[in-house]
Chain A
Amino acid sequence: EAQVTQNPRYLITVTGKKLTVTCSQNMNHEYMSWYRQDPGLGLRQIYYSMNVEVTDKGDVPEGYKVSRKEKRNFPLILESPSPNQTSLYFCASSRGTGSYEQYFGPGTRLTVT
């Protein structure tokens, strides 16, 4: 089944404790992206990657890191999480150039206390 998977689905952590949210797609998509969803603010892009080893900042990149060493994986790293990073996070992928349609993962609900 073609899908985008994220792990973990739920995470409660404390301020300053480094964490990684994994994202993997099995559709051989070139483009991958991370969003955060907050009430009233919609989907805000954190980082995106047009292809392996190519990453770019989105609208809200502060406090986040990403890497794209393999085509299928695009982990989101929070080096020192803070309470304002409490949010619902989505990973998405698409075929890339020539295609707008994005396929989303199921989401990761992160709480930072």
Chain B
Amino acid sequence: QQQVKQSPQSLIVQKGGISIINCAYENTAFDYFPWYQQFPGKGPALLIAIRPDVSEKKEGRFTISFNKSAKQFSLHIMDSQPGDSATYFCAAGDSNYQLIWGAGTKLIIKP
């Protein structure tokens, strides 16, 4: 079964620090790797995404690092703020435009 493994399950980071969440996948045919952000009481929303022909993508304080040979990708949040406290999901897109989801990481930024 196709899987995307996400770690850690939960993460506490001090304000101003760097938050790092990791994902690993198995299927080399995956063609799209997004991160979604979910606040309490809301549905997930696309935060940032990358294609496998690029090793890094940055949008403001959020960066995806992608390692194709290791079949891993990660989300880095620089200068983490309390407003970044949320659940983060990684996913991988297959050839049918379906997303296979990681289990999620609950991130808490302490003031």
Which chain A residues have a beta carbon within 8 Å of chain B's beta carbons? Answer: 4, 31, 40-45, 48, 90, 92, 94, 96-107
Complex alpha-carbon distance, A105 and B104, angstroms: 18
Chain B 99-111 interface 0/1 with A at a Cβ cutoff of 8 Å (1 = within): 1011110000000
Are B97's CB and A105's CB within 8 A? no
State which of A43, A45, A92, A100 has its C-beta within 8 Å of the C-beta of B97.
A100
Q: Does B12 reach chain A (CB closer than 8 Å)?
A: no
Complex alpha-carbon distance, A97 and B98, angstroms: 9
Set of chain A residues within 8 Å of B9, measured between Cβ atoms: 40
State which of B43, B93, B103 has its C-beta within 8 Å of the C-beta of A90.
B43
Q: Does B54 reach chain A (CB closer than 8 Å)?
A: no
Given contacts A100-B34, A100-B93, A100-B97, contact A42 B6 (CB under 8 A): yes
Chain B 5-27 interface 0/1 with A at a Cβ cutoff of 8 Å (1 = within): 01001000000000000000000
Complex alpha-carbon distance, A94 and B89, angstroms: 17
**Nearest CB to that of A97 among chain B residues?**
B97
Given contacts A4-B43, A104-B43, contact A96 B97 (CB under 8 A): yes
CB of B100, distance to nearest CB on chain A (Å): 9
CB of A85, distance to nearest CB on chain B (Å): 19
Complex alpha-carbon distance, A42 and B91, angstroms: 11
CB of A39, distance to nearest CB on chain B (Å): 9
Set of chain B residues within 8 Å of A106, measured between Cβ atoms: 41-43
State which of A92, A98, A101 has its C-beta within 8 Å of the C-beta of B34.
A101
Are A107's CB and B43's CB within 8 A? yes
Given contacts A101-B46, A106-B43, contact A42 B98 (CB under 8 A): no
**Nearest CB to that of B10 among chain A residues?**
A40
* Among A43, A96, A106, residue most surrounded by chain B Cβ atoms (within 10 Å): A43
Complex alpha-carbon distance, A105 and B42, angstroms: 8
Are B41's CB and A107's CB within 8 A? yes
Complex alpha-carbon distance, A106 and B34, angstroms: 20
What 7 pairs across the A-B complex have the smallest Cβ distances? A104-B43, A42-B103, A100-B93, A43-B101, A42-B104, A100-B32, A42-B101
**Nearest CB to that of B90 among chain A residues?**
A42
